[in-house]
């Protein structure tokens, strides 16, 4: 067993997020976007001696390489997919643990029925699109379909997650690591899964690819209530969203103002703007940062490599 797979006292009490991909829709390589970063959605969370990963956009590729670097059996990874649009799964087949015989990966994400998520992911490795099928990838993997309203608990590191229906109030008080799910229909065509991670009275919410309604969705505001951090879709500027020439309404993403509105109504402590429009260069992102801070002081524009410690 290598040092990565064995939690020690220092890592066990850590609750640390790292952004590996923050871009929406498609990756960018233009030099003037690389300050914020060009990889698509991927957030790594080290918590309670475990490694949770939110989305498998291209950001998961360098993360997977780091996890496997020098390790014959890398730590088990729990990958939570918001949905299976291509920008959120594009890195999955290049995630090193899935290509490594001794590695173990649990993949969880929306699927209306048992096996539905597996069937969606198999499309990725259709022989016309990719030369190796999902089932042929060497790493051990288990795939779980979620319908929303679940609470997910973890046994000892590396064990299969326990997925149950949520009971009111049974999650927060215990202080144990739990992930709650909330399915939203506010993203075309099949909706999106939002996640809330709790550990020792700290929590964050991952809410990407959601188009808020005027005033925010009450269930989303409730789901994010009082969180220490809200990671929220903020792809568009207001003028892009309501542009007459190319309106983005109905495309499934929020504006900066919508993300701020939900953060304020939910009373979160910090807001991280996420899923950035790929045509927004670093200069535009700087101006978005200033604009958002003017609306809600505790706002950051998520960028590749950013680390946030919740504990
Ligand atoms: Zn997306
Ligand atoms: Zn999407």
Q: 14-23, pLDDT tens digit by residue?
A: 999 999 999 9
**CA separation (Å) from 245 to 125, 177, 220?**
37, 47, 30
Pick the closest to residue 255 from 206, 190, 210 (CA basis): 210
Residue with tokens 């929306």: 110
CA of 87 to the centre of ligand 1 (A): 5
Rounded CA separation 12/225 (Å) = 26
Chain Cα centroid distance, residue 36: 17
Q: Which residues contact 163 (CB under 8 A, 6 or more apart)?
A: 108, 144, 146, 150, 151, 152
* Ligand nearest the Cα atom of residue 192: 2
Q: How far is the CA of 294 from the centre of ligand 2 (A)?
A: 28
**Residues in a beta bridge with 271:** 230, 299
pTM, rounded to two decimals: 0.95
d(CA 214, CA 206): 20
Distance CA 75, CA 142 (A): 15
CB 299 within 8 A of CB 292: yes
What is the reported pLDDT for 47?
95
pLDDT of residue 127: 94
In this predicted structure, what is the pLDDT of residue 3? 42
Length of the chain: 311
Tokens describing residue 204: 């964050």
By the CB criterion, residues less than 5 angstroms from ion ligand 1 are 24, 87, 209
State residue 171's pLDDT score. 64
Mean pLDDT by 10 residues, the chain (311 residues): 44 86 98 98 96 98 93 89 98 96 96 95 95 94 96 91 82 82 97 97 97 97 98 98 96 98 98 98 98 97 98 93
Amino acid 165: pLDDT: 87
List, in sequence order, every residue forming a beta bridge with 38; answer none if it has no partner: none
Ligand 1 centroid – CA 26 distance (Å): 8
Report how far residue 93's alpha carbon sits from residue 96's, in angstroms, rounded to the nearest whole number: 8
Q: What is the pLDDT of residue 4?
A: 45
- Output the CA 24–ligand 1 centroid distance in Å: 5
- State in Å: Cα 85 to ligand 1 middle: 6
What's the pLDDT score for residue 63?
97
Please state, in angstroms and rounded to a whole number, the distance separating the CA atoms of residues 109 and 134. Answer: 16
**DSSP count for the chain of H helices, then E strands:** 8, 15
């Amino acid at each position: 067993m290598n040092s990565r797979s064995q939690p020690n006292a220092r890592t066990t009490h850590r609750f640390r997020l790292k952004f590996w991909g923050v871009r929406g829709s498609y990756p960018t390589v233009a030099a003037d976007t690389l300050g914020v970063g060009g990889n698509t959605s991927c957030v790594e969370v080290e918590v309670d001696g475990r490694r949770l990963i939110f989305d498998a956009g291209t950001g998961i590729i360098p993360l997977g390489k780091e996890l496997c670097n020098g390790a014959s059996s890398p730590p088990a990874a729990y990958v939570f997919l918001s949905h299976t649009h291509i920008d959120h799964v594009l890195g999955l087949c290049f995630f090193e643990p899935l290509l490594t015989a001794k590695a173990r990966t649990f993949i969880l994400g929306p699927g209306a029925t048992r096996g539905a998520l597996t069937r969606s992911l198999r499309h990725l490795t259709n022989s016309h699109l990719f030369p190796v099928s999902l089932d042929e990838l060497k790493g051990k993997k288990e795939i779980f379909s979620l319908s929303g309203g679940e609470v997910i608990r973890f046994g000892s590191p590396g064990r299969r997650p326990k997925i149950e229906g949520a009971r009111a109030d049974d999650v927060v008080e215990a202080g144990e690591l739990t992930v709650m799910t909330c399915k939203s229909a506010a993203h075309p065509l099949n909706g999106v899964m939002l996640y809330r991670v709790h550990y020792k009275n700290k929590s964050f919410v991952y809410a990407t690819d959601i188009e808020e309604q005027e005033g925010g969705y009450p269930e989303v505001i409730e789901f994010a209530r009082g969180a220490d951090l809200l990671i929220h879709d903020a792809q568009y500027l207001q003028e892009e969203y309501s542009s007459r020439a190319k309106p983005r309404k109905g495309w499934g993403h929020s504006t900066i103002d919508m993300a701020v509105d939900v953060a304020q109504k939910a009373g979160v402590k910090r807001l991280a703007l996420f899923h950035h429009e790929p045509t927004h260069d670093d200069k535009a992102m700087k101006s978005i940062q200033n604009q958002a801070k003017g609306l809600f002081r505790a706002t950051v524009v998520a960028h590749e490599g950013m680390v946030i410690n919740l504990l």
